[in-house]
Structure 1
Amino acid sequence: MSWIELAPAFLLSFVVFFGPGLLIGWAAGLRGPTLYGFAPAISTGIVGISAIAASIAGVPWGILPPAALAVAAAAVALGLRALGRRFLPVAKDAGEGQGADGAAADSPAASGARDGWLRRSAPIVVALGASALLLGWRLVEGMDRADGFSQTYDNNFHLNGLRWILDTHDASSLTLGRMTSADGVSAEFYPAAWHAMTSLVGTVLPVGPAPLANASTLVIGAFVWPASALALAALLTDLRRWAVVPAALLLAGFPAYPYLMVDFGILYPNFLGYALVPSMLAAVAWSLGLVKPGPEPGRAPQRLAVLIVAVIMAAGVGLAHPSAAMLVAAMGAAAIIAVVAGLVRRRRLISAAALLLVAALVYPVAWDVITPELDPTFWKPTGSSAQAVGEALLATGVGRPAAVAVAAFAIAGVVVVVRKRIWWLLGALAILVAFWVIIAGWQPGPLRDVLTSVWYNDPYRFAGALPLLLGPLAVVGFIAAVQWLRDGLPATVSRPWRAVGVAALVVVAVVGSQQLPVTSAVGSMNSLFRLTKDSPLVSSDELALIEELPDVLPPDAIVAVDPYTGGALAYAFAGVHTTSRHVLSGISPDQELINDELADAEPGSPVCDAVEATGVTHVLDFGAKEVHGGDNGFHGIRDLRRSDAVELVTQVGDARLYAITACG
């Protein structure tokens, strides 16, 4: 499949990620960067909630459930604003120097609609388009082919999950876990918003799981991420300046996000959840009254409508991945402290104490509930605490090259935050860096486990969180630097020399940010998407055999597979019913017996009883090479060339399909 052929899926994916949110956000009174930036989180909440509701109601998954919920939510928002205009007073701007639309309070953007829409929005729209082109180019370069797929551990689950949703017409976070349960019935909660949104395109277009995943990757990495980052940046500075265009290109200069999230893992749910974090943090600041929501021209925003938007966004972040929600909660603690400090200054001590009490009760419970039940010592630090601090300052992580250009502008952004006395955001950055140092620099221990197990203590997973604040700060720092060159230099510096300085900054932003840190990150990503005869999960020969399966297998065939060697993806790519769909799939006693002893099966043996009980008819033998180079068993269905229990059906290179013949 070519990238041009993927265009319809990409365009529909864009509508899925932005359409519901734009409708509801507009109805709630959002405008400008807050509308564009908040839309994906709103859409994710609507799609995730509607998937759960549709499953409970027995409604097949498709466009109708999220569309109906989006229209209903927009109607509610419109109604609340109408009631608010009639009965509620106009809210006065408040907060730490922020204005109503998230721009600085003294900026033109905070004064409503004195200017036309085009003049207000053109720089932001162009900035989003320019950053999308640069990010999209890099992501396409990394993904190699439109139908390429990541050769990584977790892709078994994600691609098979898309196929399972399309087969069962059920995208609920409460049921997706059935795909990997031993009995196919029981299921634990799994954050399935990414799967629901990505599969939604597949309910309309005949596109396979891998191209669907790539289409959503382009939308999230090239559009959702910069829109979300600019929504947070808009709290700190006026984005109406044309300097925002080159500033937005800095968002493509961080090696840890978006590239690392679609390199390591592969972490599609984290990839989506992290993209929503900046806008969700801005919504938290709104909800706590640190800044005011954006007015529509000539009308006062209504707080209740905005709060409903924030709740939908929170649901979206949580259903994308709970660890992203806890990241917002962790950084949001700084906003809570800022609110408490304000209440104390106004001598509203009871309100301050009540807010602290609620936080003290909610945070430990949420931390305990969301922390995964995995070995917290599995992931070790990648260096010392000092190294982790240095990586944070240099906008990198896990040993990746330092992103000096974007780091310099991010530091300039911190200076702007300090000068504007936006302490809650500075506190959020300190919290983010502190958790990074704990994860990447501390040795395993009880305190590390308590504080950071919610992120699996995984340095690779958490490294992607650093740009979520550093990115918006870099945008702010670049705009401030341009403004200083234009207005802050002595009068003796001529206009041409000022223009030269601005041009130099643009070159640094565009060219400097795309050097070794990004090229190495994209190269690493590409190495894991490239399909070769030696690919770590599914080789070119193995994929060729998988694509033959619908033609050589009977419709009722059940194929025993080793998920560690890629056989589980026969379900995603060919729709073949396999015994495992992920390396962490639950395995029944009968399946375990087949996995261990099929090679030695004889009529009447226990393993033949297991074959009869499970209905297994065939075996995919992709050898013993596991995706991570280990040995996790499955010896009974590996290297079957000398086994008398099976008969070769077809093969491509060393990839073989066998029929089980020993059990009658």
Structure 2
Amino acid sequence: MREGLVRVLNPGTTSWSDTLVVFLAALTLVFVPGLAAGLALRLRPLAALALAPLLSTSCLALTAVVAGALGVRWGLLPLVTGALVMGAAAAGLGRLAPRATGALSARRPGSGAWLAQPLGGRFDGVWWTTVASVLVTLIVVLVTIRPELRTPEALPQGPDTIFHVAAPQWGLDNGTLSSLEIGRFNFPTWSGFYPAAFYAFTGSISLVTGASVVVSSSVYVVVLVGVVWPLGCIVLALTLLGRRVVVVLLAALLSVAFTSYPYLLMGFGVLWPNLLGQALLPAALAALAGVFRALGRPPYAVADRLRSGLLFVAGVPGLVMAHPNAFVSLAFFGGLLVLGRVLSFAARAPTWPRRLTVLGATAVAIAAAATASVVLRPASMVGTGAAGPERPTDLAWQDLLNFAPRLTQPLPVLAAIVGLGAVALLVRHRGARWVVPALLGMLALFWFNIAVDSDVTRWFTWPWYNNAVRLHAVAILPAVIAAVAGLLALTDLVGRLVPRRRSRTVAIWVGAVVVLGAFSLNLGIQLEAHRHILHRYFHPRAPDSWVTGEELKALRELSTALPEDAVVAANPWNGGTYLYVVSGRQLLIPTEKTNSPGDRQLLAAALDRVGTDPEVCDAAERQGVTHALVGGQPFSWAGNRVEEFVGIDRVGTSPAWRQVAMAAPFTLYERVACAGSA
């Protein structure tokens, strides 16, 4: 990235009112490719709209991988080509699908109309209510976050934030946003896989709008939280609880009523790729439910079984390249969904031998999955995080029962609604009973993680990195469905208590009151809880801040004294690595996790000796280090790791370095000598 390009962040120049074009570009990239493919596959508009982000993510992430493998530089051509290929494939499958379902119908008399046509009208009340509800939900999200994210340039102050904004910027510089190449931002010789779907979107948004990657990331996160996630929750709730307007309203508002997801994940970590994966999860489950639907006609389905299967298969790559945690969560929830269908089938089997065969096969499949989980688990994931409980048992129970992880504010009323909903699911919604063990299972894993966290519990929590925030965030999806079921049960109960001739009118009014109550609850108790957690990450105390807005401006000012080909050494714990975000100038050590053995470690520890130690001089020449940046306050829990970079911090004491410029709290030095040089 060079100085003249717009996508380098120029701090203090962009407000939320300046981001309309960026919002439109984000919505276009998220919805248009997938929506076109869904309609080409002959889905009804609501299903096509709800599953569009999932299909678009698979398309964009896979296209980036293919382009990287073919050596094609990322740009508008591969971006458009990938969308056209997916649309053409969907159109072809859409033409073949009716023949396949027709053949199936011939073998099952009386089922042809159901198999050949998904439920749901084209542009009826549910459709328009969905569109209106998502717009309202987006407004609720914007009202919630606006006091804390006062500008789209705001950065959550976490250790991984620099990677999530710098990696896509590096990808645009180097012409790749592939999951197989994005890791080279940290290590030039890196090879492997890193979930880069988030960067494929933010980088592409930046590419087509000219906005900085930081601004593109902020806008994309809002689209995920305020549009994609509520829409996914709506379609899953319709699939499981019935095709009713009140279900749409409740699902939309309750989707943003919890704190740990989406708001905690907007700041913690920062776990933006995880945020993306979780936002796509309900749509993937809705597609799976269309394949393994309950016995009898379900209340709603995104498509017939064949199309649902195609949608599910097409969406899995997007989930994996969004974040593997999303795929693991899909496997857990989807496994419970399928298990419920299998057990229902076994109960209806006409003979005991058939029942035992089905149950035996199911037991073998569960045992195989458990064995694979133990055998294939990576040691690095099992060992992630400090071992041992983080909360006393009594406080852990309070956190669990109040949906309040990591010192977030308790939500007791919402928790009570979820509890009521769990009962309602078991009693009223046979096809959705799997949601209850899904919820209890994730909350149990959360509790074991914060209250026990032993070697044994890590057998089960390792897929989520033994991390309480990740575990609790996954539990929010079944909690949303349960909460919808709970309020829906109250609405129906009151409607039944009135005389028959008035029941319909009263039920409508009761539904309206319930929805408005949920809305008021969200803007009251929940609003404060959400802002409270956002404030912790966007406005922390000074020791917990990596880089402030004023420090970004200082780095921007210093970058004007750097040549375009400069390579700068900076202590990453002090925030100096954000120099790349505001200037595009290359950093010797891009993040605090990249002080790798060899030249980097040597220069970090001894760069101040470059004028007297030939070994250090040779390393500096190999890495092309021309400048050093010192100053700034170390992040609070850096500890002794700050000392790994003492050689950089002390360059001001060496005659081999000349001060070039200063902008508090940073000072820029230029290398003017090297041991052994002429």
The one-letter code of the counterpart of 2:35 is: L
Report whether the alignment pairs 1:618 with 2:627.
yes
Q: Secondary structure of the residue that 1:213 maps to in structure 2?
A: helix
> Quick one: distance in 2 between partners of 1:225 and 1:649?
48
1:44-123 aligned within 5 A: 44-89=57-102, 112-113=120-121, 117-123=123-129
Matched with 1:35 is 48
Residue 397 (structure 2) pairs with residue 395 (structure 1): no
Indicate the larger mover: 611-620 or 243-252. 243-252
- Amino acid paired to 1:646: W
How many residues were matched structurally?
645
Query: Where do 1:564-583 residues align within 5 Å?
Result: 564-583=573-592
> C-alpha distance in 1, partners of 2:500/2:100?
52
Alpha-carbon distance in 1 for matches of 2:569, 2:252: 49
Mapped to 1, the partners of 2:118 and 2:310 lie a distance apart of 22
SS in 1 for 2:629: strand
Amino acid at match of 1:309: L
Q: Indicate the RMSD between aligned Cα atoms, in angstroms.
A: 3.3
Q: Secondary structure at the match of 2:311?
A: helix
Task: For residues 330-373 of structure 1, give each alpha carbon's deviation from its aligned partner in whole angstroms, at most 9, with x where no partner exists.
Answer: 22221232233234332266566556545543554366556461
8 Å contact kept, 1:27–1:74: yes
Instruction: Give the aligned partner of residue 464 of structure 2.
Output: 455
Q: CA deviation at 1:543?
A: 1.3
Question: What amino acid is the match of 2:152?
Answer: A
Taking structure 1 as the reference length, the TM-score comes to 0.88
Aligned to 2:5: none
Equivalent in the alignment of 1:635:
646
User: Shift of the alpha carbon at 1:294?
Assistant: 9.7
3-state SS of 2:408 partner: coil
- Does the residue aligned with 2:147 lie in a helix, a strand or coil? helix
Change (3 A) 1:79 1:654: closer
The 3 A distance-change label for structure 1 pair 139 and 560 is same
Aligned 8 A contact 2:239 2:299 in 1: no
Corresponding residue for 1:259? 263
Deviation at 1:441, TM superposition (A): 2.2
Q: 1:50 to 1:296 in 2, by over 3 A?
A: farther
Structure 2 counterpart of 1:273 = 277
- CA drift of 1:52 comes to 0.8
| 2:151 aligned residue | 145
Give distance in 1, aligned partners of 2:29 and 2:171: 16
TM-score, with length taken from structure 2: 0.87
Q: Is the deviation greater in 380-389 or in 118-127? A: 380-389
Cα distance, 1:14–1:492 mapped onto 2, change above 3 Å: closer
Alignment of 1:206-605 (within 5 A): 206-242=210-246, 244-245=248-249, 247-290=251-294, 303-345=305-347, 346=349, 347=354, 353-354=360-361, 356-358=363-365, 360-362=367-369, 364-365=371-372, 369=376, 371=378, 373-374=380-381, 375-378=383-386, 380-384=388-392, 387-419=395-427, 420-421=429-430, 422-442=432-452, 444-489=453-498, 504-530=513-539, 536-605=545-614
Describe the shift of the 1:120–1:456 C-alpha distance in structure 2 as closer, same or farther (beyond 3 A). closer
Q: CA deviation at 1:144?
A: 2.1
Distance 1:153 1:111 in 2: 46
Indicate how the Cα distance of structure 1 residues 368 and 652 shifts in structure 2: closer, same or farther if over 3 A, else same.
Answer: farther
Can you list the C-alpha shifts for 1:549-603, whole angstroms capped at 9, x where unaligned? Answer: 4421112211001222112221122101101122211524222121111224433
- The worse-fitting range, judged by mean Cα deviation, of 308-317 and 593-602 is 593-602
Name the SS of the counterpart of 1:89 in structure 2: helix
Deviation at 1:428, TM superposition (A): 2.0
8 A Cα contact 2:119 2:300, kept in partner: no
Deviation at 1:153, TM superposition (A): 0.4
Match of residue 659 from structure 2: 648
The one-letter code sitting in structure 1 at the alignment partner of 2:372 is: V
Q: Is the 1:31–1:101 Cα contact (8 Å) retained in structure 2?
A: no
Partner SS state of residue 146, structure 2: helix
Asked whether the equivalents of residues 575 and 632 of structure 2 are also in contact (C-alpha less than 8 Å), the reply is no
Paired residues of 1:253 and 1:403 also in contact (CA < 8 A): no
**Residue 3 of structure 2: aligned partner:** none
Alpha-carbon distance in 2 for matches of 1:487, 1:110: 30
Give the Cα–Cα distance (whole angstroms) in 1 for the partners of residues 530 and 125 of structure 2: 37
Provide closer, same or farther for how the CA distance between residues 58 and 357 of structure 1 changes in structure 2, counting only shifts above 3 A: farther
Give the C-alpha shift of residue 272 in structure 1: 0.6
Shift of 1:488: 3.7
Alpha-carbon separation, structure 1, partners of 2:342 and 2:171: 45
Over residues 160-196 of structure 1, what are the superposed CA-to-partner deviations in whole Å (9 max), with x where a residue is unaligned? Answer: 1011111011111111111111xx1222211111111
Q: Deviations over 1:3-24 (max 9, x none)?
A: 1211211211111122222122
Residue 470 of structure 1 deviates from its aligned partner by 1.0
Matches of 2:242 and 2:443 in 1, distance apart?
A: 26
**Equivalent residue for 1:106?**
none
Q: Secondary structure at 2:628's aligned position in 1?
A: strand
| SS at structure 2 position matched to 1:234 | helix
Cα distance in structure 1, aligned partners of 2:509 and 2:127: 26
Change (3 A) 1:291 1:227: farther
Alpha-carbon separation, structure 2, partners of 1:571 and 1:112: 50
Once the two structures are overlaid, the 10-residue window that deviates more, 430-439 or 167-176, is 430-439
- How many angstroms does 1:401 deviate by? 1.7
Shift of 1:242: 4.7
Amino acid at match of 2:309: L
SS, match of residue 153 in structure 2:
coil
Worse overlay, 231-240 or 46-55: 231-240
Higher RCO (C-alpha under 8 Å, 6+ residues apart) = 1
Give the AA of the match of 2:223.
V
Does the Cα contact within 8 Å between 1:142 and 1:526 map onto a contact in 2? yes
Partner in structure 2 of residue 105 of structure 1: none
1:403 CA displacement: 1.6
Shift of 1:610: 1.9
Query: Quick one: which of 9, 13, 27 aligns to 1:14?
Result: 27
Contact 1:46 1:70 in 2 (8 A): yes
- Which ranges of structure 1 fall in alignment gaps of 5 or more residues? 93-99, 103-108
What is residue 657 of structure 1 aligned with on the other side? 668
The residue that corresponds to 1:166 in the other structure is 172
Q: Post-superposition shift, 1:259? A: 0.7
**CA deviations over 1:362-405 (Å, ceiling 9, x no partner):** 55436655646142452543325565454344333223222233
| Aligned counterpart, 2:133 | 127
Q: Which amino acid aligns with 1:212?
A: S
